[in-house]
Structure 1
Amino acid sequence: MQRLFPALVGLVVVVAVLSSCMFIVRERDLALLFALGEVKATITKPGLYFKYPPPFENVVYLDKRLQTIETRDPERIQTAEKKNLLIDSFVKWRIADPKQFYVTFGANSSAAVERLQAQIRDALNAAVNVRTVKQVVSTDRDTIMKEIQSSVATRAKPLGVDVVDVRLRRIDFAPEISDSVYRRMEAERKQEANRLRASGGADSERIRAEADRKRQEVLAKAYAEAQAKRGEGDATATAIYARSYGRDPEFYSFYKSLGAYRESFAKPGSALVLSPNSNFFRYWDQPKGAKPAAAATK
């Protein structure tokens, strides 16, 4: 047993030395191999690697995954109109140069986040300060994000950082100007509504006037055609009457008298106050049309 113990101790020492000479780089990591305090190699591919045991060589791991910086509180940024906006943004970034990143920040990602946040704040101010509220909120929003990304990426590259994307997530008015902005928007919408109502009223009057004009034209045309037809009918009737009178004047006179009797006594109780010798009663009891005899006088 006494002989076995030194062998076990030696085996443990050998295993410890061998384990200190090996290291594994995972898919999500970058590795910096240091030799006596200086960077000897940068390892970006995952796998099993060998090195000298400490203190001759040691390894520092960095996270190579895509990381996100989100603002905890919206940034208060002033526009060209001197109005404050509350802007909430986020940034996607990752380590592009492990050696430069380590030289700048060490293995502390928090320091990198603080530096990037300051750069983002500066770029956001520079992009928003020269624009109006309308441009920031709607028309130039994509342009602002591109400008911020370009500015931050340029400034972050010497730090070993690659800025992948910048997004403005939410843009709100500061509380002190929200009411005035909403009132102005309401006034603009009311003005637009009144303009549309006025335009619609004008169009309505124009359409109504056009319809009335066409109606008058149609009525006038129809009245003219009716008068022409009536005139043609009257002319035809007159011609028929004339031909009938020319053929038998006595029968024509008798026929007209019958029509007069029919119209005069059409209603029950009709009464006429006429002289019995009137020509109106010429055919009343004399089919030949003899003139009625004069009434006897006392």
Structure 2
Amino acid sequence: MGFAILNGEIIERVNAFVDVEDRGYQFGDGVYEVIRVYNGRMFTAKEHLRRFVRSAESICITIPYPTEQLMSLLEKLIQKNSLQQGIIYLQISRGITPRNHAFPVGDVAPTLVAYTKEVDRPVEKLKSGVKTILVEDIRWLRCDIKSLNLLANVLAKQKAAEANCFEAIQYRGRDITEGSSSNIFIVKDSVVITHPSTNLILKGITKDEILRLCTANAIAVVERTFTLEELMQADEAFLSSTTGEVMPIIEIDKKIVKDGVPGPVTRRLQAFFEEEIKSKCGNL
């Protein structure tokens, strides 16, 4: 089973228990992050940890460890578990206290946990693309916080699984927001378009990398809302996530996107993104 982090200590995972009155368990009162590991090295870890701190602060949780200490702990956890290709899952809750909706009174220590998991790159899907479905976005209005409250995302992802699809693309009214666990992009007339990073979506770390790569490589890009109709008429579509990287979308609600194969702009961005991984983590 390997090792996990519990409140700043690396222990055997089988001993990493959390109390039944932990507010993360009872209320989803906490936030989390997922960091990709290639060749035993974390990719964009500083960016993920900055978002982790920002999400925690947004719900009035103070992380009791400096970012440098967290980084060092996560690096040690990777080594202890001999992880080469995979992820680190990191979570903090408001802590253990008798159940009450209001914040606990007094000095209650938050609960921090982290563990690793082996996850291969989805190489075949990156080559061929994936199928998706459309679902109404029924989530709350603070999707910019990477909260433990993921029930709406789970329901959307389950609908995708039942339809034999990789992802569920969510919409509010006529506007596309994001996937159940990804950001969504379209390409029209060689311009990359994606939803702006407002409270209605999670500000994706991979999304930000893609925006930067577009600018660095003279690919036209704009952050703006786009509609269901624009999605269905796009020249290309792709999603981004920590584990999905730059993932081509070839089908939406059983409608083929353009020619049904990953498009040229998506392919260029995949190549640039892979070079970025290699420059920071070594050959894939």
**RCO higher in 1 or 2 (8 Å CA, sep ≥ 6)?**
2
Report TM bin, short chain: under 0.3
Per residue, is there more strand in 1 or in 2?
2
- TM-score, normalisation: structure 2: 0.21
Highest Rg: 1 or 2?
1
Q: Which has the higher helix share?
A: 1
